[in-house]
C-alpha cells in the first residue's frame, strides 16, 4: 500500500495488520494491551468527538503527557480530521507552556494528570476559551473519555480532505535562548523521512520499547515507522523502569540518546570494577577487545577467537540484561561516543547513530546496518531523498522533502534558515568524506576565538571529555581569553561510589567536590583527555559544580541539552574566577 499521509497508517491497520498488541502500557505492574481494533475505534471516536466540539481542519490541539497509548489515539484522532497536533514536554517550564498555548492558538489541551494541571493553575493568562481534558483522573477536569463518548454518538467518519502538504504537527523547539519556535511539519515531510528510514529496521523485528518522549520528533517519527512495519510499541513505565522493562518484554529494538547508553556503560564498568580474581581479568579483557572493535573493518582470526570466548562469558550477560533479543539500537539527539559504538557492537548489541533536527523531520543522515553502511565517528550517509552539501565556512546545508514548511508566524526566522535555493542552514559544522559519510565537528555559533586568535569548538572537547564516567555535563569557556577552561558537573552517582571505594569521607555534594583527592582525580581526567587536542584547545583550568543541573534550575532544555548562554550568564563569576591572575 502506498503511504502519502501519516493517517494512511490507519487504513493499513484496517487492511493488513490485525494485532493484539499495537500498543502496550504498564498499569499497576501489568501490561495492558491495545489491539488493532482498539486503535482504530479510539481514533475514529476521538475524531468525531473533536468534530462535535467544533474542531476543524487547521485548528490546533495540544498534548502534554508522557508516553502512553492515549497519546497516539489523540494524535491519530486529530490528524484524520486535519487538526494540527502540538506536542509539549511534560517537564516544560510554566513560561514556555503559557507562551506556546498562546502562540499556537491551541483550542483543546490534553494533559497527563494532576501534576500538569497544578502547573497550569499557577498561570493566570491562559486563553479563556481553552478546553482541558485529562488522561488520568483529576478533580474538576473532564476526562479524555468524554471526547470519545461524545464521538460514539456522532454520525460520519470524522475525517476531512487532507493533502500531503497539509500541516500535520507544530513542534516547538526547546532552544537554548529566547522563546521556542514552532516548526511546521507536513504529512509529506514526515512520510518521506519515515520511508527513507525503513531500511534501518532488520527483517523480522516485531516489538519495540519506547521511552524517549513522543513530544520529540525523533521518537514520534520512529513510532510512525514502527506502525508502518507492524511493530508493537511497548511504553516503559518510567525512566527508572527501563532496565526491568527490557528484561520483561524482550524487545527487538529501541531508540535512545547517547546519555542513556553512557549511563548503561558506566554501570557496567562500575560492576566490573567490583569484581576480583579471574572474573575481573576476564571482564577487563572483554572491555579491551570491545574498545578495539571496528564495525566496518575485517577482523583477524585471533581477534575473532578471543571475541567469541569473551562473548560467551561476558557479553552474553550484557545482552540478557537488555532482554536478549536486541537487533538494533538507534541513537540520536546528540553525538555518540565512538567507544560506545565499538563496545556495544562488539557485545552483539548493534548500535547505529543518526543525525537530524526537528526542522528536518528529523533524520538527515544515519549509519545503517550491513557491510559498508557504517563508519565509526560519522553520522552515516544522507538518507534517500535528502541532499547535503557543505558551505564554504563548513556549515552543513540540506534540502529535501523532509524539510519543514517553515516556522509558525515567523517568516523572518524562516528566511534566515532557508535560503532562496531551498537549502536549510543547520548551524552545525562538518564534512563529507570520500565515501559520502557525514561527520559533525561542532556548532557554528558555539565556535569561539581565544585571545591568541585560535578557534576552539567546545562541543568537540565536551563530547570527548564526557567519555569519562566521572563527568555528567561540561561547558568549555574561553572566548577572548588566554586559554580554554571548563565548568564540570560531576556524575555524582559514580563519584559517590568512587569515594566510598577510596574511603574518602563526605556528607554533601558541595563538600565532596572540594576534597583534594576528588579534585586531583578530575585533574587527572583532564590531563588524559587533553592529549586528544592541540595545545591551544586544551582545557587549562576546571571547576567542579557543587550541584546537578536541571530543567528546573534553568541550565537544561527539556531534551536535557545544556543551555550554554544561560550557563555563561548564571555562572559568570565562577568563570571569571578561573582566569583570575591569568592576565586574561
What CATH code is carried by the domain that includes residue 141? 3.40.50.980
The mean of the pLDDT values for the chain is 92
The residue-averaged pLDDT of 60-68 equals: 97
**Rounded to two decimals, what is the model's pTM?**
0.86
- Residue 124's pLDDT is 65
Report yes or no on 88 lying in a domain. yes
Report yes or no on 239 lying in a domain. no
436, 452: one domain = no
Q: Which residue has the higher pLDDT, 495 or 123?
A: 495
Report yes or no on 491 lying in a domain. yes
295, 439: one domain = yes
The residue-averaged pLDDT of 118-133 equals: 79
Report yes or no on 480 lying in a domain. yes
The whole-angstrom separation of Cα 134 and Cα 113 is 6
The whole-angstrom separation of Cα 440 and Cα 394 is 10
Give the chain's domain count: 3
The residue-averaged pLDDT of 297-315 equals: 93
The residue-averaged pLDDT of 60-78 equals: 97
Q: Give the confidence band of 557 by pLDDT, cuts at 50, 70, 90.
A: confident
Report yes or no on 210 lying in a domain. no
CB neighbours (10 Å) of residue 155?
6
What's the grid cell of residue 532? 586528544
* Domain-ending residue, one of 398, 428, 444: 444
The residue-averaged pLDDT of 241-263 equals: 91
Helices (H), 164-257: 187-196, 217-228, 242-249
- Percent of the residues in the chain that have a pLDDT greater than 90, as a whole number: 74
Q: Which domain holds residue 118?
A: 8-162
466, 398: one domain = no
Q: Give the confidence band of 75 by pLDDT, cuts at 50, 70, 90.
A: very high
Residue 86 has pLDDT above 80, yes or no: yes
295, 409: one domain = yes
- Residue 274's pLDDT is 84
The whole-angstrom separation of Cα 427 and Cα 440 is 11
What CATH code is carried by the domain that includes residue 544? 3.30.300.30
The residue-averaged pLDDT of 145-172 equals: 94
148, 284: one domain = no
- Residue 295's pLDDT is 80
Q: Give the confidence band of 581 by pLDDT, cuts at 50, 70, 90.
A: low
- Residue 561's pLDDT is 82
420, 484: one domain = no
The answer to whether the CB of 97 falls within 8 A of the CB of 74 is no
The whole-angstrom separation of Cα 66 and Cα 238 is 9
Q: Which residue has the higher pLDDT, 158 or 232?
A: 232
Residue 177 has pLDDT above 70, yes or no: no
Worst-scoring range by mean pLDDT, 107-121, 124-138, 159-173, 360-374? 124-138
Model confidence pLDDT, tens digit, residues 430-449:
999 999 999 998 888 788 88
116, 97: one domain = yes
- Residue 257's pLDDT is 87
Residue 178 has pLDDT above 70, yes or no: no
Residue 364 has pLDDT above 90, yes or no: yes
* Domain-ending residue, one of 162, 193, 227: 162
468, 534: one domain = yes
The residue-averaged pLDDT of 176-198 equals: 91
Report yes or no on 58 lying in a domain. yes
The whole-angstrom separation of Cα 362 and Cα 32 is 30
The whole-angstrom separation of Cα 177 and Cα 546 is 24
Model confidence pLDDT, tens digit, residues 375-409:
998 999 999 999 999 999 999 999 999 999 999 99
- Residue 175's pLDDT is 56
Residue 464 has pLDDT above 60, yes or no: yes
- Residue 565's pLDDT is 86
* Burial of 573: CB neighbours in 10 Å, binned 0-12, 13-18, 19+: exposed
- Residue 370's pLDDT is 87
357, 457: one domain = no
The answer to whether the CB of 336 falls within 8 A of the CB of 314 is no
341, 485: one domain = no
The whole-angstrom separation of Cα 139 and Cα 409 is 36
Phi, psi of 109 (to 5 degrees): -125, 125
Model confidence pLDDT, tens digit, residues 288-298:
999 999 887 88
Report yes or no on 250 lying in a domain. no
Residue 584 has pLDDT above 60, yes or no: no
Residue 558 has pLDDT above 80, yes or no: no
Report yes or no on 2 lying in a domain. no
* Domain-ending residue, one of 132, 162, 192: 162
CB neighbours (10 Å) of residue 231?
21
The whole-angstrom separation of Cα 219 and Cα 580 is 45
417, 481: one domain = no
**What b/e readout covers 362-399, taking b as 16+ CB neighbours within 10 angstroms?**
bbbbbbbbeeebbbbebbbbbbeebebeeeeeebbbbb
Q: What is the DSSP letter of 450?
A: -
- Helix axis angle for 338-346 and 277-291, nearest 10°, is 120
Calculate the CA 574 to chain-centre distance. Answer: 30
426, 484: one domain = no
The residue-averaged pLDDT of 20-25 equals: 97
- Residue 559's pLDDT is 72
Amino acid at each position: 500500500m502506498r503511504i502519502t499521509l501519516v493517517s494512511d497508517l490507519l487504513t493499513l491497520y484496517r487492511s493488513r495488520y490485525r494485532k493484539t498488541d499495537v500498543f502496550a502500557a504498564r498499569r499497576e505492574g501489568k501490561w495492558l494491551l491495545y489491539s488493532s481494533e482498539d486503535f482504530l475505534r479510539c481514533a475514529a471516536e476521538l475524531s468525531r468527538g473533536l468534530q462535535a466540539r467544533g474542531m476543524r481542519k487547521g485548528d490546533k490541539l495540544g498534548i502534554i503527557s508522557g508516553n502512553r497509548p492515549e497519546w497516539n489515539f489523540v494524535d491519530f484522532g486529530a490528524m484524520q480530521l486535519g487538526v494540527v497536533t502540538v506536542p509539549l514536554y511534560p517537564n516544560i517550564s510554566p513560561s514556555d507552556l503559557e507562551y506556546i498555548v498562546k502562540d499556537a492558538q491551541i483550542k483543546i489541551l490534553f494533559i497527563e494528570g494532576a501534576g500538569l494541571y497544578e502547573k497550569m493553575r499557577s498561570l493566570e493568562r491562559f486563553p479563556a476559551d481553552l478546553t482541558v481534558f485529562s488522561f488520568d483522573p483529576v478533580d474538576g477536569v473532564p476526562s479524555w473519555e468524554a471526547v470519545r463518548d461524545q464521538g460514539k454518538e456522532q454520525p460520519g467518519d470524522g475525517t476531512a480532505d487532507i493533502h500531503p502538504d497539509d500541516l500535520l504537527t507544530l513542534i516547538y523547539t526547546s532552544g537554548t535562548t529566547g522563546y521556542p519556535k514552532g516548526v511546521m511539519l507536513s504529512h509529506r515531510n514526515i512520510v518521506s523521512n519515515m520511508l527513507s528510514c525503513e531500511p534501518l529496521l532488520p527483517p523480522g523485528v516485531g516489538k519495540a520499547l519506547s521511552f524517549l518522549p513522543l513530544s520529540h520528533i525523533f521518537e514520534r517519527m520512529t513510532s510512525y515507522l514502527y506502525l508502518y512495519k507492524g511493530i508493537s510499541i511497548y511504553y516503559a513505565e518510567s525512566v527508572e523502569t527501563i532496565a526491568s522493562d527490557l528484561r520483561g518484554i524482550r524487545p527487538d529494538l529501541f531508540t535512545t540518546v547517547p546519555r542513556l547508553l553512557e549511563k548503561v556503560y558506566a554501570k557496567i564498568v562500575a560492576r566490573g570494577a567490583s569484581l576480583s580474581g579471574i572474573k575481573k581479568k576476564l571482564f577487563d579483557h572483554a572491555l579491551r577487545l570491545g574498545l578495539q572493535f571496528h564495525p566496518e573493518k575485517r577482523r583477524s582470526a585471533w581477534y575473532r577467537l578471543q571475541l567469541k570466548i569473551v562473548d560467551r562469558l561476558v557479553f552474553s550477560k550484557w545482552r540478557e540484561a537488555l532482554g536478549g533479543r536486541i537487533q538494533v539500537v538507534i541513537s540520536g539527539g546528540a553525538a555518540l561516543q565512538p567507544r560506545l559504538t565499538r563496545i556495544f557492537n562488539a557485545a552483539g548489541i548493534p548500535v547505529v547513530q543518526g543525525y537530524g533536527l526537528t526542522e528536518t523531520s528529523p533524520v538527515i543522515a544515519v549509519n545503517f546496518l550491513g557491510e559498508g553502511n557504517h563508519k565509526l565517528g560519522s553520522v552515516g550517509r544522507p538518507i534517500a531523498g535528502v541532499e547535503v552539501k557543505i558551505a564554504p565556512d563548513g556549515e552543513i546545508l540540506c534540502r529535501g522533502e523532509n524539510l519543514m514548511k517553515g516556522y509558525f508566524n515567523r517568516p523572518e526566522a524562516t528566511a534566515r534558515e532557508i535560503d532562496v535555493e531551498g537549502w536549510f542552514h543547520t548551524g552545525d559544522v562538518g564534512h563529507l568524506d570520500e565515501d559520502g559519510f557525514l561527520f559533525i565537528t561542532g556548532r557554528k555559533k558555539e565556535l569561539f576565538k581565544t585571545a591568541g586568535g585560535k578557534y576552539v569548538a567546545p562541543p568537540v572537547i565536551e563530547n570527548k571529555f564526557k567519555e569519562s564516567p566521572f563527568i555528567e555535563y561540561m561547558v568549555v569557556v574561553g572566548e577572548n581569553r588566554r586559554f580554554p577552561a571548563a565548568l564540570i558537573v560531576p556524575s555524582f552517582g559514580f563519584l559517590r561510589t568512587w569515594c566510598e571505594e577510596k574511603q574518602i569521607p563526605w556528607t554533601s555534594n558541595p563538600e565532596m567536590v572540594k576534597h583534594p583527592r576528588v579534585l586531583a582525580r578530575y585533574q587527572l581526567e583532564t590531563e588524559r583527555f587533553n592529549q586528544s587536542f592541540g595545545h591551544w584547545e586544551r582545557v587549562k583550568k576546571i571547576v567542579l559544580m557543587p550541584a546537578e543541573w536541571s530543567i528546573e534550575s534553568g541550565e537544561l532544555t527539556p531534551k536535557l541539552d545544556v543551555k550554554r548562554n544561560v550557563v555563561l550568564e548564571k555562572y559568570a563569576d565562577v568563570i571569571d574566577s578561573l582566569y583570575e591572575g591569568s592576565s586574561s
